[in-house]
Amino acid sequence: MQIDLSGRTALVTGSSQGIGLAIATGLAHAGADVVLTGRDAGRLRAAADGIDGRVTTVAGDVTTDEGTAALLAAVPDVDVLVNNLGIFGAQPALEISDDEWRRYFETNVLTAVRLTRAYLPGMRERGWGRIQYIASDSAVAIPAEMIHYGVTKTALLGVSRGFAKEAAGSGVTVNSVIAGPTHTGGVEDFVHSLVGDLPWEEAQREFMRLHRPQSLLQRLIEPEEIANMCVYLASPLASATTGAAVRVDGGYVDSILP
């Protein structure tokens, strides 16, 4: 397949590392002008230096009104919006405070809602656009060790479907991507917190055996494998895919439906 995003501007939130950086890199390789966002200007510059393509960076905290306003002032219109920003962590269910629930919803859900409200009208007026939400297998199979994270990802599935209806007939598609357990620096720390200070390959195997035994891939997914799906969904080739929850989960979700 030939994917050409030349002339399109793509914004990926939380893109200084991990899945977000892999998605931004894939979009740039497909020809898009890419905007990286994150709180750390230095890490953003380093990330941009590693991408072969047209890349700009906007540093700021989009969980705040000020950070969101600064981003919208710097980048008033985009053709592709990938809502990747998210936080996760293990915590006993009965010990998750109200403030922690609010923090997870603010970061994982409401930032995506605000940016969709800001950018969808322009896409609709131009008759073309792509909006994506990076969800998780945890949206469907809520993990006992981080139900607050799982529930926010469940919410993103509903947000995605709802905004897809808002964009109906406009040439704008809205989808969520159900990412399976993925190998990032943050996940390495998470894995070690659950299985102990083992050598990485052994720790990964033990984590998958004990905590993600449903995976048919039986390994962590690499960020680039998630990015491949996101680049496709951002392209004209995916024009008939909207309102969907597309799985890149290594077969983790035990369902014959997407």
pLDDT over 90 (residue 216): yes
Catalytic, out of 104, 119, 133, 149 = 149
Q: Over the stretch 28-40, which tens digit does the pLDDT of each residue have?
A: 999 999 999 999 9
Q: Over the stretch 79-138, which tens digit does the pLDDT of each residue have?
A: 999 999 999 999 999 999 999 999 999 999 999 999 999 999 999 999 999 999 999 999
**pLDDT confidence of residue 258:** 72
Let me know: does 86 contact 108? Beta carbons within 8 Å: yes
Residues 9-180+229-248: name the CATH superfamily: NAD(P)-binding Rossmann-like Domain (3.40.50.720)
**252 counts as catalytic:** no
CA 252 – CA 76 distance, rounded (Å): 38
**pLDDT confidence of residue 3:** 97
Query: Which structure tokens are listed for 10?
Result: 């793509």
Residues 6+ apart with CB under 8 A from 55: 24, 28, 33, 34, 35, 36, 48
How is the beta sheet containing 80-83 ordered, strand by strand? Answer: 55-59, 33-38, 9-12, 80-83, 129-136, 172-179, 245-248
The SS3 call for residue 173 is strand
- Which phi and psi (to 5°) does residue 167 adopt? -95, 5
* Locus of tokens 């497909």: 30
Average pLDDT over residues 186-211: 93
pTM value is 0.95
The closest of 80, 58, 83 to 5, measured between CA atoms, is 80
The full set of domain ranges for the chain reads: 9-180+229-248, 183-220
Is the pLDDT higher at 88 or at 258?
A: 88
CA geometry: angle at 243 spanning 237 and 249, to 5°?
A: 80
Q: Report the chain's mean pLDDT, rounded to a whole number.
A: 96
Average pLDDT over residues 1-25: 97
Query: Please, is 110 exposed, middle or buried when counting C-beta atoms within 10 Å of its C-beta (0-12, 13-18, 19+)?
Result: middle
Q: How confident is the model at residue 164 (pLDDT cuts 50, 70, 90)?
A: very high
Average pLDDT over residues 251-257: 90
**pLDDT confidence of residue 125:** 98
**pLDDT confidence of residue 1:** 82
**pLDDT confidence of residue 257:** 82
